[in-house]
């Protein structure tokens, strides 16, 4: 298809907080040893692609994953803080069990996919999408007709993918992204978008 843009949304490798099931949000947690190897595994697969550019959240777990893949592509990483994960507020650093114990009513809404503010300093899903979508729109327009890689965070990337294809946030129909897995979308010149693959693993 003429002017088809292929957008690959890659989640960062594993962190210690992923391993212990702690919510990270915008807390800057680094990759653990497994996460570093996962980033290299993603690079071995995605490094064979003809990407025009690589973009990343500025949080270390995403940035280091992006740099690992970009090295194989011989491309720089363009860092954009708008690509950060949803702000979890006072939930950040807590396990799922701790959140359920301390905030049972809000936790139920979260697991049901409902949109709400995580805490006074946190974000809603709508606010996260409003923050991140301008960055994605700029990237898509800048690289129309080419392949482009965006490295970020599981919840944010899944919500952005749903938004691009017109699926409402609360449905969570796509489910999450595993560490160092990705969603690939095709985007036509008229803006029509579709999912080529979701939660794709390195080969």
Which amino acids are annotated as binding site for substrate, given as ranges? 11-18, 61
Task: Give CA–CA dist 192/203, Å, rounded.
Answer: 29
Count other C-beta atoms under 10 Å from residue 143's C-beta.
17
DSSP summary character for residue 177: -
Task: Give CA–CA dist 107/197, Å, rounded.
Answer: 30
Among residues 40, 85, 181, 184, the one annotated as catalytic is 85
Contacts (Cβ under 8 Å, ≥6 apart) of 28:
59, 60, 61
The answer to whether 146 is a known catalytic residue is no
* Binding site as annotated, residues: 11-18, 61
The answer to whether 85 is a known catalytic residue is yes
Q: How many CA atoms lie within 13 A of 73 on its CB side?
A: 26
For residues 53 and 75, is the Cβ–Cβ distance under 8 A? yes
Question: What's CA 97's distance to the chain center, in Å?
Answer: 23
Task: Give CA–CA dist 185/166, Å, rounded.
Answer: 12
For residues 40 and 59, is the Cβ–Cβ distance under 8 A? no
Residues belonging to the active site: 12, 85
């Amino acid at each position: 298809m003429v002017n088809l843009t292929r957008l690959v949304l890659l989640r960062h490798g594993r962190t210690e907080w992923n391993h212990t099931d702690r919510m990270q949000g915008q807390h800057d947690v680094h990759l653990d040893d497994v996460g570093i190897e996962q980033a290299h595994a993603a690079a071995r697969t995605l490094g064979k692609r003809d990407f025009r550019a690589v973009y990343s959240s500025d949080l270390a777990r995403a940035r280091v994953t992006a740099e690992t893949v970009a090295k194989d592509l011989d491309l720089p990483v363009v860092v954009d803080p708008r690509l950060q994960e949803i702000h979890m507020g006072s939930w950040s650093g807590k396990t799922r069990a701790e959140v359920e114990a301390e905030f049972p009513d809000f936790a139920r809404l979260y697991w049901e996919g409902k949109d709400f503010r995580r805490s006074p300093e946190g974000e809603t899903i709508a606010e996260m999408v409003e923050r991140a979508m301008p960055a994605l729109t700029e990237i898509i327009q800048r690289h129309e007709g080419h392949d482009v890689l965006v490295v970020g965070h599981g919840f944010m990337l899944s919500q952005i993918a749903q938004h691009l294809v017109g699926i409402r946030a609360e449905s969570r129909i796509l489910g999450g992204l595993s560490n160092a897995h990705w969603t690939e979308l095709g985007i036509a010149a008229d803006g029509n978008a579709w999912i080529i693959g979701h939660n794709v693993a390195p080969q």
